[in-house]
Structure 1
Amino acid sequence: MSGVDDRRRAAAHVFVGSEELGADGVIALSDDTQHHLSRVLRLRDGVVISVCDGAGRWRLATVVGERQAMRVEANGDIEIEPFPVAPLTLATAMPKGERLDWLVQKVTELGVDRLQLLDADHSVVRWKSSEVDKKLLRLKRIAESAAQQSRRTFLPEVLPPVQALEILEGAAVAEPGGRALTATDRMVAIGPEGGWSSKELAVARDRVTLGHNVLRTETAAVAAATLCVVADH
């Protein structure tokens, strides 16, 4: 096995700090990660997992012992993956309720490098300033879990909401009648269910289509991420 095949075939993929990853022998795990491996996944002695720092560095490790006595020992060299030369940014208005959680999970699995949340003119969901840190932490945890499941070596950035007009000059907005997405589109913006305002459309760098049908915000986000990833490969 080599490269991505090692991670795909490993029994689990977990994130640790850079210092922990570089340790010889036993790799220290957080309590939550230890619980996940021993109690949720119920990994057995001798099982191989991959361990990553979320910044492109990872290595294989072996589970030794079980349950409370479980530990993880490094059994391979540290591999390094370069950060994408042209990272993919998805900027999106926020859908209601758990639909935002689902959006974050799925675009992380697909490979979005940066997720920029937006307050658009027609947005229904807007966070109070007192809620931003708590809500953002929740989304980052969802992204980390999705990155573990999909064996990513880079954790995506999840950025707090900004006014859409601040970023649309550099983005291609999803809008009916636009052109097809290409590999050069590295920032795509998804509007709220009420659509973009005329002011927002006027400042957008370009317009791209996601098909003939009207999509929910979270569906449009997944469609855009998928088309961008496919175009890039």
Structure 2
Amino acid sequence: MSERFFLETVPRDGRAVLVGDEARHLARVLRAAPGDEVAVFSGTGTQWPARVVRIGRDEVELETGPGRADPPAAGPPLTLAVALPKGERQKWLVEKLTELGVTRLLPLRTERGVAEATPAAVERLRRGVIEACKQCGRNTLMEIAAPATVAEVLAGLTAGCRGVVADPLGPALDAAALRNGAGAVLALVGPEGGFTAAELAAAQQAGAGRATLGPHILRVETAAMALAARLA
């Protein structure tokens, strides 16, 4: 059995316990038995081999082996501030950004936004990150930050953090120049109606550049994925 499972806490003294949906999936869906081998991760950058020791009603006790830590990231941490699309496209967005190695996704509140990042929606995004990590082999969870306005996000452009706004009228994205020497990168993707003139002016005043991602108009999730592929 080569399934991966998410732990709420890191293993201690060679022991770990799966709870909730993870335990139910292993015990009831996969019908695991003592002695079966799986892999577990806690979202902090390490994966452990594990063996089922005991199956309880709502938990599965595991014996874990030595952990294997992920290598350091090749580039600076990347935050994508995105005006969320509607419905199932949010799930696709989270899945692909997780696979591409984005550090943090921040639901962006804009003047023309069409989807509200409610607490329930944010919680669904966080669950989606776990499922995507289980599938793609990533051991560090992509953070889902609290929703914020454009002004609040731009306030995070401190020294060492470089910012860029996806804008069809901007120059071509120079990913290497943006990443080289940066302590962190912040990229903003607006709603399908685009950023307003006031939002673009605020970004420019805060020191964020503007960049186009190609000759065509992209959907929100496509633009976010294109930025992730170039900058993560």
TM range, smaller chain:
0.7 to 0.9
Aligned residues between the structures: 214
1:200 aligned onto 2:199: yes
User: How far apart, in 1, do the equivalents of 2:174 and 2:131 lie?
Assistant: 28
**Deviating more after overlay: 99-108 vs 191-200:** 99-108
Give the aligned residue type for 1:202: A
* Aligned-residue CA RMSD (Å): 2.8
Whole-angstrom CA distance in 1 between matches of 2:105 and 2:195: 18
CA distance in 2, matches of 1:137, 1:206: 31
Residue 127 of structure 2 is aligned with which of 121, 141, 146? Answer: 141
Q: Calculate the TM-score normalised by the size of structure 2.
A: 0.79
Is the 8 Å Cα contact of residues 46 and 70 (structure 2) preserved in structure 1?
A: yes
User: In structure 2, how many angstroms separate the alpha carbons of the residues matched to 1:181 and 1:150?
Assistant: 28
CA positional deviation for 1:175: 1.2
2:94 is matched with 104
Match of 1:14 among 5, 30, 50: 5
User: What stretches of structure 1 of length at least 5 have no aligned partner?
Assistant: 1-9
Matched residue, 1:152: 138
Residue 172 (structure 1) shift: 0.4
Name the CA distance, whole Å, in 2 between partners of 1:181 and 1:74: 48
From the superposition, tell whether residues 12 and 199 of structure 1 become closer, same or farther in structure 2 (CA, over 3 Å): same
- Do structure 1's residue 28 and structure 2's residue 27 form an aligned pair? no
- Which stretches in structure 2 are left out of the alignment for 5+ residues? 158-162, 180-184
Matched with 2:182 is none
Which residue in 2 is equivalent to 1:4? none
Cα distance in 2 between the residues matched to 1:153 and 1:145: 11
Determine the C-alpha separation between the residues in 2 that align with 1:113 and 1:103.
Answer: 14
8 Å CA contact 1:59–1:74 kept in 2: the answer is no
Percent same amino acid at aligned positions? 37
One-letter amino acid matched to 2:26: L
Secondary structure (helix, strand or coil) at the match of 2:199 reads helix
| TM-score, length basis structure 1 | 0.79
Q: Deviations over 1:51-87 (max 9, x none)?
A: 112112331113468897x956435212334664721
Q: Are the equivalent residues in 1 in contact too, given 2:105–2:145 (CA < 8 A)?
A: yes
How far residue 102 of structure 1 moved from its aligned partner, in angstroms, is: 1.8
1:207 shift after superposition? 1.3
**Structure 1's 187 and 35: CA in aligned 2 closer, same or farther, altered over 3 A?**
same
- 1:49–1:62 contact (8 Å) kept in structure 2: yes
User: For residue 104 of structure 1, what is the amino acid of its counterpart?
Assistant: V
Pair 75,96 (structure 1): closer, same or farther in 2 beyond 3 Å = closer
What is the letter of the counterpart of residue 115 of structure 2? V
2:220 corresponds in structure 1 to 217
CA distance in 1, matches of 2:69, 2:228: 24
Kindly state the Cα deviation for residue 157 of structure 1 after the two structures are TM-superposed. Answer: 1.0
More helix, by proportion: 1
Note the 1:1-233 alignment, pairs <5 A. 11-19=2-10, 21-25=11-15, 27-42=16-31, 47-63=36-52, 71=60, 73-81=62-70, 84=73, 86-127=76-117, 132-168=118-154, 170=157, 171-176=163-168, 177-183=170-176, 184-185=178-179, 186-204=185-203, 205-229=208-232
